[in-house]
Amino acid sequence: MVTKAQVVEALKGVMDPELHRNLVELGMVRDVEIEDGNVNVTLALTTLACPLRGQIVDDVKAAVAPLDGVQEVEVDLTEMTDEERRRIGIGVPQKGSLEEMNDVRRVVAVMSGKGGVGKSLVSALLAIALRREGHRVGILDADITGPSIPKMFFPRGARLGMGPMGPIPPRTDSGIHIMSINLLLEQEDMAVIWRGPLVSGAIKQFWGDIFWGVLDYLVVDLPPGTSDASLTVMQSLPMSGIVLVTSPQDLAGMVVRKAANMARQMGTPIVGLVENMSYFECPDTGKRYDIFGPSHAAKVAQEIGVPLLGQLPIDPEIARLSDAGEIEDYAAEAFVPIARQVIERVPEARQPVPPPA
C-alpha cells in the first residue's frame, strides 16, 4: 500500500511553474488522505485565480499516479492565507524607487500568443500614432530576450541616461521615451540568457526604477506567449488594456485566442484586435493580394468578443525604415484610425491585481 510519506516525497518533485520551488517546500501541500488506493491531495494555492492551476493539478496527478498501489488521484484546491503568502515572499508588489515620482496615465500592452506576427511593429506604430495625436508617450520593451524596439528608432544607437532623479530613458526624434534591455548591453546582438525570475525582475525595474516623468500612454511590447513576462506585466503594472495582434493564418488566430483567455483570467481589459500582414497592395496596379491567405480577423475578433481595430498591409517600406532606425518617418495612414480607437477605448490606468501563484 502507498503511504502518505511516499506521496509527499513524490510531491517534492512537482515545481510551481512560476515560483520555481517545489510544492512541499512552499507549504502548498495542505493534506494527503489515502483510502483503498485512492489518494486525495489538498493543495493551498497562493490564489484560486491562479492561471496555472490546471497545470499544477496535472503535474500532481502525474507524480502520484505511478506510485505502487495508487488507483486514483484527486486534487482539491484551497487558498493560502495572507500570512502564508508573506512567508514565501508573495504579497503586494514592491514599488520601485521612482514609481511614486512617475505619472503614467495609461498603460497599454501589445500581445499575441504567437511570435512573428508583428507585435513590436504594432507597438512602435501605436506609439508613433499616439505621439502624432499630441500625447506624451513611452515604450517599455518587455521582450527581454529578443528586444527590437531600439533598433527601429535609433539609427545611431542609444544608451540609458542618468539625471538628478535617476535613470532616464532616451527619447526618439519625435519625443517618445524608450526603455529596453538593449540600451544596457555593450553590443546590440549580445544574447540575454535569463530564466523567468530575472526576466520578471528586469520588467519590474523598467517600470519602477526608471524616471518616466509624465506620460499619457506607456506602450508595453510583450514577447510571444503567456508566460513569465506577460504575467509580470499584468500583475505588476496598472494595466489599462491590451491590444491583441494576429495575422491572417488560422493558426495565428488560434494562438491569439489563448492570449485573450489569459488576459481575461488576469482581469485585464482587451481593447481590440489588430491584424498585421493582412494583404499586399501592388504599387503598379493597386490590386490587393492575400499573401498569407484570406483574413480570419473578423471571425477571431467575434469569437473573442472584441472589436477589430484594423488591418495593416504588408509594406516593404516598413522593413527598410525599421532596419535604418527611421520607423518614425513612416506615414502609417492605416494606423491612424487604430490609434484613435485605442484613445477612445482605453481608460486611465488601474491598480495592479495581487500576483497569483
With 70 as the cut, is the pLDDT of residue 355 above it?
no
In angstroms, the Cα distances linking 26 to 60, 234, 277 are 14, 23, 45
Contact predicate 323/206, CB 8 Å: no
Q: All domains of the chain, ordered by start, with CATH?
A: 4-87 (3.30.300.130), 99-345 (3.40.50.300)
Q: Which of 53-62, 86-95, 212-221 has the lowest mean pLDDT?
A: 86-95
> pLDDT value at position 350?
58
Alpha-carbon span 356 to 207, nearest angstrom: 19
> pLDDT value at position 120?
93
User: Strand pairing of 308-311 and 270-275?
Assistant: parallel
> pLDDT value at position 356?
46
With 80 as the cut, is the pLDDT of residue 124 above it?
yes
With 60 as the cut, is the pLDDT of residue 274 above it?
yes
- Regarding predicted confidence, which is higher, 218 or 20? 218
176-212 burial code (b ≥16 CB/10 A, e <16): bbbbbbbbeeeeeeeebeeebeebbebbbebbbbbbb
What is the residue-wise DSSP string for 54-111?
Answer: HHHHHHHHHHHTTSTT--EEEEEEEE--HHHHHHTT-SSPPPPTTGGG-EE--EEEEE
Give pTM, 2 decimals: 0.71
Q: Which residue has the cell 495609461?
A: 106
Tell me the per-residue pLDDT of 148-183, one tens digit each, with 9 for 90 and over.
999 999 988 888 888 777 889 999 999 999 999 999
Half-sphere exposure of 23 (CA within 13 A, CB side): 30
pLDDT average, residue stretch 241-263: 86
pLDDT average, residue stretch 263-288: 89
User: Cell for 326?
Assistant: 527611421
- Regarding predicted confidence, which is higher, 16 or 242? 242
- Regarding predicted confidence, which is higher, 47 or 125? 125
In angstroms, the Cα distances linking 167 to 97, 143, 170, 175, 237 are 11, 20, 10, 17, 19
Tell me the per-residue pLDDT of 300-347, one tens digit each, with 9 for 90 and over.
899 999 999 999 999 999 999 999 999 999 998 888 899 999 999 997
Tell me the per-residue pLDDT of 15-69, one tens digit each, with 9 for 90 and over.
988 777 899 999 999 999 999 989 999 999 887 777 678 889 999 999 999 999 9
Return mean pLDDT, the chain.
87
